[in-house]
Amino acid sequence: MKAISIGLLGLGTVGSGVIKIIENHQDKLMHQVGCPVTIKKILVKQLDKERAVRVDPSLLTTNPNDIIEDPEIDVIIEVMGGIEETREHLLNALNNKKHIVTANKDLMALYGSQLLTAASENGCDLFYEASVAGGIPILRGLVDGLASDRITKMMGIVNGTTNFILTKMSKEGLPYEEVLAEAQALGFAESDPTADVEGLDAARKMTILATLGFSMKIDLDDVKVTGISSVTEEDIEYGRQLGYAMKLIGIAQREDEKVEVSVQPTLIAASHPLASVQNEYNAVYVYGEAVGETMFYGPGAGSMPTATAIVSDLVGVMKNMRLGVNGRSSVTPQYQKKLKEPSEMYSKYFLRIQVKDEVGVFADITSVFSKHNVSFEKILQLPIEEKGLAEIVLVTHRASLQDYNDILVEIRDIETVKELKSSYRVEGSAKI
């Protein structure tokens, strides 16, 4: 069989990793698919830029059509990022019968269904394993490994930057701003970290996971998102005293054909495997009706882990080419989207309240919870330095989000309550 010819859109950190793997693993690729793999053209912004990998200058172009319209190029690997312009390039490529491998989570979260439809109509593959959790084969695990099961819940750490920040805050007791500055200096966080720290990056990944895992078209707007910028070292310390670790957790859950998807700082029981996932590592817990609990763990970002996932997808495309079955792997969502109402979303909650240190304050607070039939699992009452004030820290038993929101409104109206300092979702039961 003739060599399979690749066009590469982008030559940044991940693109350089793809070139290294294709060059260094040529014998393994030959063994897997029975033919050589060659990179024919690479789209770059600047032809004369200093790069992390050596490439023949004749391979470089600044014109995307040199790749998209080249009849000899079989597969396009997209690692340039961006959304609108990139979508146009990929739609044009699919209409030119090019197979696509992409690592672009932003694009797939927003336009995945449109691109997958175009791929199917043109008999092309569109693979995007690297768009979620870097080198962890989570999408392939859902689509292939757990294809016969019914997924009920996916819960995980899918953003390495926020996990690095929360790990550092937990271990060293440092404030958020100080740790963020260090993460930026080390290259773990962007100069504008908004997408990571406000949970948007994780929300895009959970959109993709929920769509695949539940076979239901979930949109980015369906994901309830809260970031970590308001998490304090005091919240983390109180959580630790109660037996919990603070993580930015993405949750996608299905019950009775209705789903909820969220990303938010969560206190997770220290005994849960996700609590021990440190630094920039990612992990996704998947619950299936038949298989029970499984966990996917590994590096969530970086040049080589992400490039590994891309080249694994490339191998999948090439195997399909050998078998003549390209364009048949995309399955349209099976179920109509049904989202839970707040009254149907149940969780435990952590609540930290600053109150006047007076007799009867706690009774006023408990009466509000009792009115909504919500009881407590754990309680801490602590004096604080500011004279005449105390702090109450609660962990509730399971309550509906509707009831909990109503409770928060009513507690704010209690005259002796000075401030609701913080509130977080709680997962698991801590053993302390």
How does pLDDT run across 291-332, given as a tens digit for each residue?
888 989 987 766 787 888 898 889 889 888 888 888 776 666
* CATH architecture label of 342-427: 2-Layer Sandwich (3.30)
pTM of the model: 0.89
- List % helix, strand, coil for the chain (3-state, nearest 5): 40, 25, 35
Condensed to tens digits (0 to 9), the pLDDT of residues 107-144 reads 999 998 899 999 999 999 999 988 887 767 788 778 77
4-133+303-323: CATH number: 3.40.50.720
In the prediction, which pLDDT does 53 show? 87
Map tokens 């919870």 to a residue: 369
| 3-state SS assignment for residue 147 | coil
**Superfamily of segment(s) 138-299:** Dihydrodipicolinate Reductase; domain 2 (3.30.360.10)
Would you kindly state where each structural domain of the chain is located, as residue ranges? 4-133+303-323, 138-299, 342-427
Q: Do domains 4-133+303-323 and 138-299 have the same CATH topology?
A: no
Q: Outline where DSSP puts E strands in 63-138.
A: 75-78, 99-102, 126-127
Map tokens 């891309």 to a residue: 310
Q: What are the counts of helices (DSSP H) followed by strands (DSSP E) for the chain?
A: 14, 17
What positions carry a catalytic annotation?
Answer: 205
CA atoms within a 13 Å half-sphere pointing along the CA-CB vector of 10: 23
Map tokens 């200093």 to a residue: 50
For the chain (length 432 residues), average pLDDT per consecutive 10?
89 91 88 87 91 89 96 96 95 96 92 91 91 78 76 94 95 94 84 93 93 90 96 95 96 95 97 93 91 86 80 88 78 84 96 90 93 93 81 95 97 93 92 67
Give the helix/strand (H/E) hosting 355: strand 346-356
Which residue type does 78 have?
Answer: E
